[in-house]
Amino acid sequence: MTQLKKSDVRLDTECRPDFPALHQDISSHPLVYLDNAASAQQPSTVIDAVAYYQRHDHANVHRGVHTLSYRATEAYEGARDKIQSFINAAKRSEIVLTSGTTESINLVAQSFCRPRLAAGDKILITHLEHHSNIVPWQLLCEQTGAELVVAPINKSGELRTEAFDQLLTDDVRIVAIAHVSNALGTINPVKDIIAKAKSRNIAVLLDGAQSVPHMPVDVQDLGCDFYAFSAHKMFGPTGVGVLFGREAVLDAMPPYQGGGDMILEVSFDGTTYNDLPYKFEAGTPNISGVVGLGAAVDYLRSVGMTRIAQHEQQLLEYMTRRLEGIDGMRLIGTATEKASVQSFLVDDIHPHDLGTILDHQGVAIRTGHHCAMPVMDFYGVAGTARASLALYNNIEDVDRLIEAIAKARHIFG
């Protein structure tokens, strides 16, 4: 068996004990969790932070004068500070807390784009987007008469940059693109894209759902206008996420939803809106979820994003090599720049059959279209199997995956 060099980063030994869900048997086999791109497991620090908040500190935020309301507000706003620092946003007011990447993108579509789009304007995305970075724009096109333009990818799953450049015309109002593809693992050349868009004064939104858990992200260095991501893919709770927006851009946008917390003064003659970021946080938020997100940020920073990226890159390399060694293997998504995600098909075994057989050996992978049906259409497949790694995965996990695939081939052989 090929081993990684001793000098290599091995985070799994230090991180695995932190994740209680990893330590269980599935069908009498120790769990191997390789579905991190769908949702990652939570460390005890996140689980405990949420539980502690619920047991001791819960009240509504930004409202009461009593102690619990103060504590809840401190915990909630403290998490915002952590997130700001984590992605190096210039100001805390640029961190809007949402229900997830999907809401973040819808917020930009409806609040930033809708008022300024006219029939004939263009929205530029790519062929490798998740449905959550396609459908909000289609809705917007229906509402405004704008046109959705899709930049093509090549067979490796990389953006065809020369075609993208040609599509980046002056009538494009926003470029919305995944930092990392959830189905293919491709890391898009986002800095180049942002530079090109900025040279034409075109706004840029990055869907960071698959990048934030796996690599350092610095929104000032990137220079994007918006950056959207979800807590549950970065070892936090579900139902909470972030929209980073540059202050000047957010300031000029009307509110997304009306309700409590987003106002300064309400009368039947009119309402004045609250300051950033509260203007975009109508209603009582997911306070415990945000507390959990703050704890997840602490966890990621304690491990170190650069080390995480190194660990996963080494493991991805190993997994790719092992998968390639299987007869009948078809890797889908073979970009040069990749995050730790690999889609594949084996022989003519349907991904769901493969998923069931793997699950029966304790190996959890995702099967299906991965909410990226246009990507599946591009490769002419109904779906794929997908193994996605996180900081706690190790060589043994990959070996178990390979053994389980061998068994599937044996059953179907």
**Residue 167, interface with another protein (CB under 8 A)?**
no
Among candidate residues 15, 113, 224, 371, the one labeled active-site is 371
Closest CA to 34 of 379, 388, 334: 388
**Residue 406, interface with another protein (CB under 8 A)?**
yes
Task: Count other Cβ atoms within 10 Å, centred on residue 327.
Answer: 8
| Residues in 8-37 at the binding interface with another protein, rule: CB under 8 A | 27-28
What does DSSP assign to residue 329?
E
Which CB atom, from 26 or from 47, has the smaller least distance to another protein? 26
The pair of three-digit structure tokens given for residue 151, joined into one six-digit string: 């930049």
Q: 371 an active-site residue? A: yes
Q: Which one of 151-159, 235-243, 263-271, 368-376 is the stretch in contact with another protein (CB under 8 A)?
A: 368-376
Which CB atom, from 192 or from 403, has the smaller least distance to another protein? 403
**Residue 410, interface with another protein (CB under 8 A)?**
yes
Which CB atom, from 183 or from 303, has the smaller least distance to another protein? 183
Question: What is the Cα 85 distance to its own chain's centre?
Answer: 18
Q: How far apart are CA 265 and CA 38, in angstroms?
A: 41
Residue 229, beta-bridge partner list:
242
CA distances from 54 to 44, 61, 235 (A): 15, 13, 19
Please give the size of the binding site for another protein, defined by CB under 8 A: 22
**Residue 412, interface with another protein (CB under 8 A)?**
yes
**Residue 131, interface with another protein (CB under 8 A)?**
no
What does DSSP assign to residue 53?
I
Burial of 326 (0-12, 13-18, 19+ CB in 10 A): middle
**Residue 403, interface with another protein (CB under 8 A)?**
yes
Which CB atom, from 233 or from 409, has the smaller least distance to another protein? 409
Q: How far apart are CA 30 and CA 355, in angstroms?
A: 16
**Residue 383, interface with another protein (CB under 8 A)?**
yes
Q: How far apart are CA 276 and CA 253, in angstroms?
A: 10
Instruction: Look up tokens 């972030």; give the residue.
Output: 242
Q: How far is the CB of 332 from another protein (least distance, A)?
A: 14
Which CB atom, from 27 or from 54, has the smaller least distance to another protein? 27
**Residue 368, interface with another protein (CB under 8 A)?**
yes
Which CB atom, from 90 or from 406, has the smaller least distance to another protein? 406
Which CB atom, from 51 or from 382, has the smaller least distance to another protein? 382
Task: Give the E-state strand segments of 154-289 in sequence order.
Answer: 172-178, 203-207, 226-230, 241-245, 263-267, 270-273
Phi and psi of 342, rounded to 5°? -135, 115
Q: How far is the CB of 150 from another protein (least distance, A)?
A: 21
| Residues in 334-363 at the binding interface with another protein, rule: CB under 8 A | 349-353, 356-357, 360-361
**Residue 68, interface with another protein (CB under 8 A)?**
no
Q: How far is the CB of 353 from another protein (least distance, A)?
A: 5
Q: How far is the CB of 330 from another protein (least distance, A)?
A: 16
Q: Are 330 and 155 in contact (CB under 8 A)?
A: no
Q: How far apart are CA 124 and CA 132, in angstroms?
A: 14
Q: How far apart are CA 118 and CA 147, in angstroms?
A: 10
Q: How far is the CB of 22 from another protein (least distance, A)?
A: 21
**Residue 255, interface with another protein (CB under 8 A)?**
no
Q: How far is the CB of 401 from another protein (least distance, A)?
A: 14
The pair of three-digit structure tokens given for residue 48, joined into one six-digit string: 């405990």
Q: Which of 311, 369, 386, 400 binds another protein (CB under 8 A)?
A: 369
Q: How far is the CB of 68 from another protein (least distance, A)?
A: 41
Phi and psi of 216, rounded to 5°? -65, 135
Residues of the shown chain interacting with another protein in the complex, contacts defined by CB under 8 A: 27-28, 349-353, 356-357, 360-361, 368-369, 376, 382-383, 403, 406-407, 410-412
Active site residues: 371
